[in-house]
């Protein structure tokens, strides 16, 4: 494999690694709703986690509606996007929403963020205007009601107002007229209790409205119920009851009628309200001066100027005492007294006393005073659906209140959840986000900054800046951006240097081919000074951009003339510009398909950076390419022959602009012009600059080191493998494979690879790796042992027994005096039950090792014991102990064989000889073995002493205590046995 391929494979590997690192980030809360933000003159959307989901690219945008769609304006046309930022209904309409609100939907202003958007879908439809006419589309963008109206209002419960020739009527969802267009003035259609009252004006002969008025009552199906007189039975009920009203000025036997407004009778003299059930029966007779619908089994009613609450029997749960009382929302009902607000619960208990002031909506001067006056002096005129009431209801468990001229939020117990600190507050939506305004002082003066706020009190501006966008992304994204910048810069600088080299080659300098410069391989152009040292030094001294440099060494004297020299010098900056232009289509694709904004911003930044560096390199200052283009055209005395001018030029280019930025202004202008021609907006480029964390650019050093390692011998990868082998064996394996590709016959690499494969459990590949290592280095006994151990694994035993025997025989053949190989062969034969053959091998082993290996003697003793040749076995165990008396199991084996010989009386003496062990654990094992043999042999006294020896060494050994109990009971020492059992029980419980 060529070096070039290896370098690019490494680049891809590193890119994959960091992409994976970025993907393994903390899980982001699910996007349930999006919120509009403004960035310069464009609008985008963030989610409730304050992460940018839809990049700022729309000239205008509105809030998302219940249909999970938001209207956006692109190139002067309106369309809709979904929660993913994808265009669900293409921009094609002149206007959307309705035509009778704030001059036919003006351009978005600050206050629009606080209004319910008129461009929302209602009853599944939204008004759209095209070529001067209005129609309605559904949520798929299908035109449901054709373009035919001059003006429209949004649907309300299946009915909308529409105008033709300056006459207004009402239509249903099919576009059919419920009320023909006869009205000159529109009247909002609002359903209450399933009934809508529509006022139809009577016009005189010249088209002017007269004093007479016709009232039409419709249900939600568009069916006309009655004319001029309300119906007697409601169509919809709240908790089984509906509000009715009765005019006391009428005859006493005149029946009550259904209220068509929750507040229409509040200011009307002579009207009393009550309630009827679903059968139309009056259950609470009209007796109140004002009524609101039931909620949580309570209804707010007014008696004269005071409000209270009744239950469904008409009994006052809370006597009339408040200036205003509201229906219960989220188990809390708003109450107002003396201009202050409080709340009751569903039991009618005042849980939050009226102690807070109402909060402002916009925060402008004078609003708070007017609002307080309205709540204190004119509370009886407040309407349940008014924005001042709705804004103070509980939503998402919080309600907005004000103290000392600042608003905040309280919880349902009345405690301040978010302390008052804002000039204006709105209620929370169902996703836990509210909008507030905060007085902010800037160099240009103070202003009311609109913010989003969550239930934890965390805020985020609705108007964002370049730096603020960079804070909207986690560290992983910034790390990925920095690394992508480094990788792309490596590619870009390779193209730059290749441009120099190829033109120089065409111009006559054929040496560039011999030097390997006619390649895009970055390692051909990197130089320690330009690539690593200078960028790092410049970054620590002056800040700058710590990106690697490169160089190509051209023999200009071989180039045929000055024109080719100029072309060679110009080729680098031109290649940089071309590389930037190659990325321009990717940038536009990211805009078209709504790639993550950080990626779009990074592309804009990097493309602009390429243009900037190209123009900077074209400056006629040594040692830049711009000077090289002119050098051969200058008088000889002005040419930089000794390099002094280049050093001065570096100071001029990199140091002076830090103190006199105006010097680079022409370069910035040229960069901006080329970027604008390419369609690169400056805003995302600035965002990309802020997202590019220069400290993360130390990755350049890592990349340089990796590339450096690639060009070094196998030792580099062997060392890397050793570093990772214990805790990242798969990475170690990759490095050993690279080392073997460089030096296929390196014994150590094969050994390390085999060992790593064994750790990874890849045994089938480990065996040939060990064999290859043995083939290359047959002298290495450790490698042979590892292979034999691997072949001897239990799960491989039957399958690999022949290979194991062969490997052992080869080991013995190459190392005849090494006891390890003989021991291994004896063990294999024992496992197969070939004791006679194993005995012969053990004798050969003793002969080859001159009888100096205790393990072989012990193995021979084991074989003889299996053959029931106990006396000979005892002699072998004695030999083993003689060779190595510190092996505890040799003593245990001797004790066992003494029992088989019936010489239990010698067990105690044998144990006495073994107590010289320094390790208590070894001594304990010997005494336990001896105690057990003595016990089963009937030597209870000596067995008891042996167990006491064990307890003396290990007081908490339950096996010794149990054995002691058994012996004491055999000796009928019951009192001592009972004491021992108590100790045993205590230890058992503790364990």
Phi, psi at 168, each rounded to 5°: -105, 145
Full strand arrangement of the beta sheet holding 340-344: 324-329, 332-337, 340-344, 350-356
CA angle 610, 614, 617 (to 5 degrees): 140
Q: Is 497 a catalytic residue?
A: yes
Question: Whole-angstrom Cα distance, residue 732 to residue 725?
Answer: 5
Q: How much helix, strand and coil, in percent to the nearest 5, is found in the chain?
A: 45, 25, 30
Question: Whole-angstrom Cα distance, residue 415 to residue 452?
Answer: 21
Reply yes or no: is the peptide bond before residue 686 cis, omega within 30 of 0. Answer: no
Question: Whole-angstrom Cα distance, residue 363 to residue 423?
Answer: 5
Distances (CA, A) of 132 to 93, 99, 181, 577: 10, 11, 19, 47
CB burial string 348-360: b at 16+ within 10 A, e below: bebbbebebbbbb
Structure tokens at 921: 């654990």
Q: Where does residue 690 rank: exposed (0-12), middle (13-18), buried (19+ CB within 10 A)?
A: middle
**Is the Cβ–Cβ distance between 79 and 89 less than 8 Å?**
yes
**Is the Cβ–Cβ distance between 526 and 708 less than 8 Å?**
no
Question: Whole-angstrom Cα distance, residue 20 to residue 456?
Answer: 32
Structure tokens at 360: 């402002």
Element (H, E) at 806: helix 797-814
Q: What is the 3-state secondary structure (H, E, C) of 668-733?
A: HHHHHHHHHHCCCCHHHHHHHHHHCCHHHHHHHHHHHHHHHHHCCCHHHHHHHHHHHCCCCHHHHH
* 98, 262, 361, 497: the active-site residue: 497
End-to-end CA gap in the chain: 62
Question: Whole-angstrom Cα distance, residue 476 to residue 19?
Answer: 9
**Is the Cβ–Cβ distance between 35 and 45 less than 8 Å?**
yes
Question: Which residues make Cβ contacts (< 8 Å) with residue 284, sequence separation at least 6?
Answer: 241, 274, 275, 310, 312, 313, 314
Give residue 777's region: left, alpha or beta (phi > 0; psi -120 to 50): beta
User: Helices marked H in 543-624 — which ranges?
Assistant: 562-592, 597-617
Q: Please, what's the largest Cα pairwise distance for the chain?
A: 140
Question: Whole-angstrom Cα distance, residue 465 to residue 445?
Answer: 18
Element (H, E) at 539: helix 534-542
What angle do helix axes 888-900 and 870-883 make, rounded to 10 degrees?
A: 160
Q: How many residues does the chain have?
A: 991
Within 13 Å and on the Cβ side, how many CA atoms surround 966? 16
Which of 346, 347, 325, 345 shows the shortest CA–CA distance to 337?
Answer: 325
Question: Whole-angstrom Cα distance, residue 859 to residue 835?
Answer: 11
Q: Where does residue 30 rank: exposed (0-12), middle (13-18), buried (19+ CB within 10 A)?
A: exposed
Q: What is the DSSP letter of 379?
A: G
**Is the Cβ–Cβ distance between 981 and 962 less than 8 Å?**
no
Which residues are identified as catalytic? 497
């Amino acid at each position: 494999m060529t070096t070039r391929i290896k370098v690019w494979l490494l680049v891809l590997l590193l890119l994959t690694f960091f992409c994976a690192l970025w993907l393994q980030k903390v899980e982001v809360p699910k996007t349930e709703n999006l919120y509009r933000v403004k960035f310069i003159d464009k609008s985008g959307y963030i989610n409730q986690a304050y992460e940018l989901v839809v990049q700022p690219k729309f000239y205008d945008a509105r809030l998302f509606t219940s249909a999970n769609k938001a209207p956006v304006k692109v190139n002067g046309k309106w369309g809709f996007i979904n929660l993913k930022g994808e265009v669900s209904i293409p921009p094609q309409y002149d206007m959307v929403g309705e035509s009778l609100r704030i001059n036919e939907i003006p351009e978005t202003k600050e206050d629009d963020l606080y209004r319910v958007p008129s461009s929302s879908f209602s009853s599944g439809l939204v008004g759209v205007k095209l070529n001067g006419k209005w129609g309605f589309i559904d949520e798929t963008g299908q035109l449901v009601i054709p373009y035919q109206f001059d003006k429209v209002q949004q649907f309300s419960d299946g009915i909308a107002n529409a105008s033709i020739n300056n006459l207004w009527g009402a239509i249903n969802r099919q576009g059919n007229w419920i009320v023909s267009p006869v009205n000159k003035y529109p009247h909002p259609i609002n359903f209450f209790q399933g009934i809508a009252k529509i006022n139809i004006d009577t016009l005189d002969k010249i088209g002017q409205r007269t004093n007479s008025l016709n009232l039409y009552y419709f249900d939600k199906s568009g069916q006309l119920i009655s004319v001029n007189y309300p119906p007697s039975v409601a169509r919809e009920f709240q908790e089984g009851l509906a509000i009715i009203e009765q005019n006391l000025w009428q005859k006493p036997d005149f029946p009550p009628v259904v209220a068509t407004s929750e507040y229409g009778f509040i200011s009307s003299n002579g009207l009393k309200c009550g309630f009827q059930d679903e059968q139309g029966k009056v259950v609470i007779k009209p007796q109140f001066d004002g009524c609101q619908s039931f909620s949580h089994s309570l209804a707010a009613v007014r008696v004269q100027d005071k409000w209270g609450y009744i239950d469904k029997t008409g009994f006052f749960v809370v006597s009339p005492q408040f200036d205003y009382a509201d229906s219960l929302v989220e188990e809390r009902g708003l109450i107002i007294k003396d201009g202050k607000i409080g709340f009751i619960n569903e039991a009618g208990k005042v849980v939050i006393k009226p102690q807070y002031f109402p909060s402002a909506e916009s925060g402008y001067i004078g609003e708070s005073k007017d609002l307080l006056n309205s709540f204190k002096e004119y509370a009886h005129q407040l309407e349940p659906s008014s924005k001042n009431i709705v804004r103070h209801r509980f939503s998402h468990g919080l309600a907005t209140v004000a103290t000392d001229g600042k608003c905040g939020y309280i919880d349902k117990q009345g405690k301040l959840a978010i302390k008052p600190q804002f000039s204006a507050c709105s209620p929370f939506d169902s996703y836990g986000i509210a909008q507030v305004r905060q007085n902010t002082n800037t160099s240009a003066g103070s202003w009311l900054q609109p913010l989003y706020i969550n239930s934890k009190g965390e805020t985020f501006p609705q108007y964002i800046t370049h730096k603020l966008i960079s804070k909207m992304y986690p560290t992983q994204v910034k790390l990925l951006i920095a690394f992508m910048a480094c990788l792309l810069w490596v590619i870009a600088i390779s193209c730059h240097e290749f441009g120099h080299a190829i033109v120089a080659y065409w111009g006559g300098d054929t040496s560039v081919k011999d030097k390997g410069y006619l390649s895009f391989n970055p390692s051909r152009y990197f130089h320690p000074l330009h690539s690593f040292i200078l960028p790092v030094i410049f970054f620590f001294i002056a800040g700058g951009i710590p990106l690697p440099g490169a160089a190509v060494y051209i023999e200009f004297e071989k180039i045929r003339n000055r024109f080719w020299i100029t072309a060679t010098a110009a080729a680098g900056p031109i290649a940089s510009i071309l590389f930037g232009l190659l990325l321009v289509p990717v940038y536009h694709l990211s805009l078209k398909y709504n790639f993550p904004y950080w990626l779009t911003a990074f592309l804009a930044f990097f493309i602009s950076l390429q243009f900037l560096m190209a123009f900077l390199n074209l400056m006629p200052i040594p040692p830049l390419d711009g000077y090289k283009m002119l050098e051969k055209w200058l008088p000889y005395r002005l040419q930089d022959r000794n390099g002094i001018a280049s050093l001065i030029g570096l100071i001029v280019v990199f140091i002076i602009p830090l103190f006199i930025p105006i010097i680079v202004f022409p370069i910035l202008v040229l960069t901006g012009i080329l970027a604008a021609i390419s369609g690169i907006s400056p805003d995302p480029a600035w965002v990309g600059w802020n997202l590019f964390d220069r400290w993360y650019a130390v990755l350049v050093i890592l990349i340089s080191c990796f590339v450096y390692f690639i060009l070094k011998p196998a030792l580099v990868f062997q060392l890397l493998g050793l570093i990772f082998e214990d805790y990242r064996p798969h990475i170690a394996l990759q490095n050993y494979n690279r080392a073997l590709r460089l030096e296929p016959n390196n014994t150590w690499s094969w050994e390390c690879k085999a060992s790593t494969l064994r750790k990874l459990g890849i045994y089938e590949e480990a065996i040939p790796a060990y064999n290859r290592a043995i083939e290359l280095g047959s002298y290495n006994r450790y490698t042979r042992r590892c292979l034999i151990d691997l072949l001897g694994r239990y799960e491989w035993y039957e399958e690999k027994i022949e290979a194991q025997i062969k490997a052992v025989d080869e080991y013995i053949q190459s190392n005849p005096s090494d006891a390890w190989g003989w021991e291994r062969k004896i063990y294999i034969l024992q496992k197969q039950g070939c004791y006679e053959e194993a005995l012969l091998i053990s004798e050969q082993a003793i002969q080859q090792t001159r009888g100096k290996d205790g393990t072989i003697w012990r193995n021979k003793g084991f074989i003889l014991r299996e053959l029931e040749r106990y006396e000979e076995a005892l002699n072998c165990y004695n030999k083993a102990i003689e060779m190595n008396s510190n092996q505890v199991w040799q003593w245990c084996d001797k004790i066992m064989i003494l029992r088989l010989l019936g010489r239990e009386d010698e067990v105690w003496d044998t144990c006495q000889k073994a107590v010289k062990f320094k390790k208590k654990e070894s001594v304990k094992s010997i005494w336990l073995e001896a105690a057990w043999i003595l016990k089963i042999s009937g030597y209870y006294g000596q067995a008891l002493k042996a167990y006491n020896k064990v307890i003396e060494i290990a007081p908490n050994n339950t096996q010794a205590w149990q054995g002691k109990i058994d012996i004491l009971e055999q000796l009928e020492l019951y009192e001592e046995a009972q004491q021992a059992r108590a100790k045993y029980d205590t230890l058992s419980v503790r364990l």
